[in-house]
Amino acid sequence: MSGVKIAVIDYGVGNIKSICNAFEKMGANINVTREKEDILGADGIVLPGVGAFPHGMKKLLSFGLDDVIRQYANTGKPLIGVCLGMQMLFDSSNEFQDTKGIGLIPGKVEKLPVLDDYLHKLPHVSWNEIEVIKGHSNNIISDVDGSDMYFVHSFYATPDSFENVLSTTNYSGFEFCSTVKKGNIYGCQYHPEKSSEQGLKVISNFIDICNSKG
Amino acid sequence: MPGSVELKMKKIRLIARIDVKNEFAIKGIHLEGLRKVGDPNDLAKNYYESGIDEIIFMDAVAAYYDRNSLSHIIEKACADVFVPITVGGGIRTIEDIQTALNSGADKVAINTQLIRDPDFLKEASMTFGSQCIVASIDAKKVGDRSWEAYIDNGREPTGKDVVKWAQEVQFLGAGEIMLTSIDAEGTRKGFDCELNDEVAKVVSIPLISSGGAGNSNQVVELTRKAKVDAVALASILHYNVESVGAIKKNLMQNEVLIRL
């Protein structure tokens, strides 16, 4: 089971220590890297990220990592994006200005609508349930249907195809896609590495997928 | 899927606040008269395992001495605590924030430096994203429904009205506000519900209420009187008044939504 090689993509944004710790705790060998060979040679890769979409994309582009990630995706090996890392897998975002994403999942990123700003604040900072879409339960979200995960975001990603939605989450009366999958490409809007035991379960599910593909 | 209009209530986050001085977790009253209550990492791990939603480490003396020294505690904590970690106390510069994040913190709480230089807040939230900047406001009651913001861990008055200052930090880019009532802090006599209500009414970013929690009924009372998003707990946990599990159970029985 153990020994799966996971590359965590280092593009100079935010705290990646926690995500490394969580993957290590679940038995993965972690390599924090921005080197093409390391990334293409990994059994699985993690695209972390917090902060604003344009800043994140700018950093990725500055290291030429968008190309490397697309090349990796073509190998069919698993990739997971977390929070901003998930959003950047989409075609584009309108945070501050229209910005192109990596474009691995058709769809776009938009601001969360808030129906009542007295009851529901932005950013959406809270534990919130993920509801697994029927037929998708045997996946990275195996055994976590209905679990509370930790969210910190003001924007959300909408896949063009509902087929790509693994789970949804309701905030302020609005349902958005909280876990996404297109082939070997996965993403979660919440932070599994900050979501206690249930989040660690998502990480260990992803590691299992990397193992079975390797 | 989008378009549904079921308005669900939000879940209140329970945060363990661990004030640290010279390697020890400490607890004061009105932010003064500090008493040792244990090892900060042992406490954090224990609270995590009993179901706490988040941890805040505050360097209790950093602002006073112009330093920040919690890095090694954060590094150790984030190896076995898989919920969000905030660090505060003595954060002055963009480099201080970077150091805290590199150590494994998810957010930083800043008070004194924001008062001294409000543009610092703008710069910090532009650099790291507002989600990682918690504006920490220490409030002291000065009249009927009127509070003044204090800095240097409750020692220095600033002349700023707390409610106005809360609006200003939101405008400048704070992602959350941690509001500490100096009057209630450490007393275990309950939160200053009026203070929390006045601030909650004027901000549209999440509000963490800190200071005064002595039992879980007071948390229930606070959530009924003020629309706070999170509560910081210290004495109640450090002195084993109630466990995280017991607090959550009581909140659930009183229909306060929480993470199970």
Average pLDDT of the segment spanning A35-42: 97
Over range B131-147, report the average pLDDT.
96
- SS3 label, residue A82: strand
Return the DSSP state at A212.
H
The torsion defined by the Cα of B180, B186, B187 and B190, in degrees rounded to 10, comes to: 50
- Within chain B, strands assigned E span 13-21, 24-29, 32-38, 54-59, 85-88, 107-110, 133-143, 146-151, 156-161, 176-181, 207-210, 230-233
User: Which residue is catalytic, options A20, A83, A177, A188?
Assistant: A83
- Portion 64-123 of A in contact with B at CB < 8 A: 114-123
A22 contacts on B by Cβ (under 8 Å): 82
Task: Report the sign of the C-alpha dihedral through residues B172, B174, B177, B183, in that order.
Answer: negative
B47 in contact with A at a CB cutoff of 8 Å? no
pLDDT attached to residue B245: 97
Instruction: Round to whole Å and give the CA distance between A57 and A66.
Output: 8
H/E stretch holding A152: strand A148-153
The partner residues of A165 in beta bridges, in order of sequence, read A180
Q: How confident is the model at residue B64 (pLDDT cuts 50, 70, 90)?
A: low
More confident: B3 or A33: A33
Residue among B211, B106, B77 at smallest CA distance from B153? B211
Chain B residues lying within 8 Å of A125, measured CB to CB: 13, 131, 175-176, 206, 229
Burial class (CB in 10 A: 0-12, 13-18, 19+), B71: middle
Q: What pLDDT score does B1 carry?
A: 42
Query: What angle is formed at CA A38 by the lines to CA A35 and CA A42, rounded to 5 degrees?
Result: 145
| Residue B19: active-site member | yes
Is A32 at the interface with chain B, CB within 8 A? no
CB contact under 8 A, B1 and A200: no
CB contact under 8 A, B128 and A14: yes
Residue B202 near chain A (CB below 8 Å): no
Mutate to test the interface with A, among B106, B204, B258 (most CBs of A within 10 A): B106
Tokens for B215?
């039992």
Q: Alpha-carbon distance A134 to A129, whole Å?
A: 15
Average pLDDT in chain A: 92
pLDDT in tens, B14-45: 999 999 988 899 998 888 878 999 999 999 99
Query: Could you give the CA distance from residue B82 to residue B47 in angstroms, rounded to a whole number?
Result: 11
Closest C-alpha to A122, from A168, A87, A172, A83: A172
Rg (CA), chain A: 16
Question: Are B229 and A126 inside 8 Å of each other by CB?
Answer: yes
Task: Name which of B137, B140, B108, B142 is nearest B125 in CA terms.
Answer: B108
Q: Kindly list the residues from chain A whose CB atom is less than 8 angstroms away from the CB atom of residue B71.
A: none
